């Protein structure tokens, strides 16, 4: 199965400065800008914002 450029693999990095990351895929057609999600950071045991890094 070929990799699709419409759904690239991205890294989400914690804005809390812990260095924790999530790896996920996104749909470029629905989200052309950088993605920001609120997810759990186990280092500080809280939900914080994670932003897409390139």
Which CATH number does the domain housing residue 13 bear? 2.20.28.120
In a domain? residue 4: no
Q: What percent of the chain has pLDDT over 90?
A: 89
* Residue 15: inside a domain: yes
Residue 54, pLDDT score: 78
DSSP the chain: -PPPTTS-EEEEEETTSS--EEEEE--TTT--S--EEEEEETTTTEEEEEEEE-
pTM of this structure: 0.87
Q: Which domain holds residue 44?
A: 9-53
Quick one: pLDDT band at residue 1, thresholds 50, 70, 90? low
19 found inside a domain: yes
Q: Give how many domains the chain has, as a whole number.
A: 1
């Amino acid at each position: 199965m070929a990799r699709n450029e419409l759904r690239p693999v991205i890294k989400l990095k914690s804005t809390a400065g812990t260095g924790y990351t999530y790896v996920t895929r996104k749909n470029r057609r629905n989200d052309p800008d950088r993605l920001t999600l609120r997810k759990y950071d186990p280092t500080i045991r809280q939900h914080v914002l994670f932003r897409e890094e390139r």
